[in-house]
Amino acid sequence: MAIHPKEQRLVLKYADEPGYTPSIDSYLAHGGYDMLKKAVTMEPQAIIDEVKASTLRGRGGAGFPCGLKWSFVDRKSGKPIYLICNCDESEPGTFKDRQIVHKDPHQLIEGMMISCFANNVAKAFIYIREEMPYGAKILDEAILEAKEKGFVGDNVLGSGYSCEIVVHRGAAAYICGEETGLIESLEGKRANPRIKPPYFPAVLGLYNCPTIVNNVETLCNAVHILDMGAEGFKKIGRPNNAGTRIWCVSGGVQRPGYYEVGEMTLGELVYDICGGPLPGRSIKAIIPGGSSMKILKNGERYKGKNPDGSEYDWGLEDIPLDYDGIAAAGSMSGSGGMMVLDDTVSIPAALANLMAFYSHESCGQCTPCREGSLWLKKITSRMVHGEARPEDVDLMLDVAGQIAGRTICAFGFAVAWPVQSYIAKFEDEFREYAAHLSDPNADRQAIKELACNG
């Protein structure tokens, strides 16, 4: 994909360079594995300190500080410590890890090996979703190449440190992206997430051993932190939002795609880089960080107080494109999967589409999530099929309210937030829609196609 001049590429620096291949030769010709060579001469704690100082935050969804996560690892238990790279990439709207794995797999392996060395890990896993079969093959091949050159396996670069990486394929279940569901799956079980406490992966993770779970993009950044130093890394982005982020933009823009950027506003990404809406259309709303995140409505003012007491008053396009900016606007940057909804999109139909997703993907352990997601699918579905009932909007809010915060894992929020936020921002549309669609003569074809749930 062509690189936009406003991008600042770090993790995807070489991925789209003409002639660049996933082979180790390409990577080595671009300084590949130099940072691993540096890492094995350092004290492991010094690497952890550097990552901590960089203020790198997780790129998988929750945005938790990476160095802090590593510092929670129980190093006194006497048990082995595991590291798992989360390449499940199943949050709707997200397609960045796919680029890294298919185009520059060695960067991920180098980032993992640095992270493993820093945390005294002797066995690491890459959990990759089943729907990326070539990605799994590319990774297997890359690990073999890296072993041949002494970057992975026994006695890494003659340092006396050894670590294996195993690629593990999923089988098409979204919940395997949730870190404790992933761990269960890797243990050969159903991916039923575990309750925290006590099952914090850093203490009781894989095989009840201390375990680090990080996203693909997060782990790649370890390479760049060693390269640039924590101070250099922090120069990109606002304080507490250090480094670049790869945004995945899909839906109603002229140039959908993945874009790696530093500090900028949401408007710069959506209008300048992605070219704004299609001709004759306008942007209605944006789901900023994967389908689980609350929706941002265009035309609304986003107001509040900054930590220093000053006030902000933004339009959608002014929202700073980072963790804290999107949080200040009432949503989350999540996985970086941004779905743009233009004025042709019916919000209730979009919700029906997503509720079909969530009810299909609930692992079924918690009653509120299993039953609630199915109810929400049924209600939104009858709405788009013209059988809405007057009480449906309130019923949906009631059901969503009974899921949020009452489940084992954060999937519960992922079901409830779209319902709650779409109704909060577009309540009229839901109510009018329900009334209008009860009209047997209404044209429901486009709406059914958008809901796409059979």
Partner 1 sequence: MDLKPETLAEIEAAIPKYPEAQSAVMPLLHAIQKDQGAISNEAAEWVAEKLGIAPINVLSVVTFYPFFRQHKIGKRHIRVCRTLSCAMAGGSKVCDKVLSEFEAELNHASPDGEVTVEFAECLASCGSAPVMLVDEDLHENLTVEKAKEICDKIKAEAKA
Ligand X SMILES: Cc1cc2nc3c(=O)[nH]c(=O)nc-3n(C[C@H](O)[C@H](O)[C@H](O)COP(=O)(O)O)c2cc1C
Q: Which residues bind ligand SF4 (CB under 6 A)?
A: 175, 193, 362-366, 369-370, 407-409, 411-412
Does 207 bind ligand X (CB under 6 A)? Our answer is no
Of 301, 254, 317, the residue nearest 280 (C-alpha): 254
Quick one: how far is CA 416 from the chain centroid?
18
Work out which of 9, 59, 98, 234 binds partner 1, going by CB under 8 A: 98
Between 175 and 226, name the residue whose CB sits nearer to ligand SF4.
175
* Residue 123 sits in the site that holds partner 1 (CB under 8 A): yes
Site string for partner 1, 193-222 (x = CB under 8 A): --------------x---------------
Please identify which residue in 89, 179, 322, 324 interacts with partner 1, judged by CB under 8 A. Answer: 89
- By the rule CB under 8 A, 3 interacts with partner 1: no
Instruction: Identify the burial level of 304 via C-beta atoms within 10 angstroms of its C-beta, where 0-12 means exposed, 13-18 middle and 19 or more buried.
Output: exposed
> Around Cβ 157, how many Cβ atoms within 10 Å?
17
59 touches ligand X (CB under 6 A): yes
Distance CA 408, CA 366 (A): 7
Residue 91 contacts ligand X per CB under 6 A: yes
Q: With contacts defined by CB under 8 A, name the span among 14-22, 216-224, 248-256, 395-403 that binds partner 1.
A: 248-256
# residues contacting partner 1 (CB under 8 A): 62
Binders of partner 1 in range 179-198 (CB under 8 A): 185-191
Half-sphere exposure of 255 (CA within 13 A, CB side): 15
**DSSP symbols for 337-382:** EEEEEETT--HHHHHHHHHHHHHHH--S-SHHHHHHHHHHHHHHHH
Residue 341 sits in the site that holds partner 1 (CB under 8 A): yes
Q: In this chain, which of 60, 67, 93, 277 binds ligand X, going by CB under 6 A?
A: 60
| 305 makes contact with partner 1 (CB under 8 A) | no
Q: Does 133 bind partner 1 (CB under 8 A)?
A: yes
- What's the closest the beta carbon of residue 176 comes to ligand SF4, in angstroms? 11
**Residues 168-197 interacting with ligand X (rule: CB under 6 A):** 175, 177-179
Q: What is the DSSP letter of 34?
A: H
* Helices and strands of the chain, counted as H and E runs: 16, 11
- What does 412 interact with, of ligand SF4, ligand X, partner 1, none (CB < 5 to 8 A by kind)? ligand SF4
The reply to whether 298 sits near ligand X by the rule CB under 6 A is no
Q: How far is the CB of 157 from ligand X (least distance, A)?
A: 25
Buried b (16+ CB within 10 A) or exposed e, 377-407: bebbbbbbebebeeebbeebbebbebbbeeb
Does the footprint of ligand X cover residue 61 (CB under 6 A)? yes
Can you tell me the distance from the alpha carbon of 296 to that of 313, in angstroms, rounded to the nearest whole number?
Answer: 14
Q: Which residues pair with 168 in a beta bridge?
A: 127
Nearer to ligand X, 145 or 178 (CB): 178
* Nearest partner of 121 among 111, 129, 130, 131, judged by Cα: 111
Tell the residue number behind the tokens 């070539």, with chain if given.
134
Does 337 participate in binding partner 1 (rule CB under 8 A)? yes
Query: Residue 267 and residue 315: Cα distance in Å, rounded?
Result: 9
- What does the binding site for ligand X look like in residue numbers (CB under 6 A)? 58-62, 64, 86, 88-91, 175, 177-179, 213-215, 218, 409-411, 414
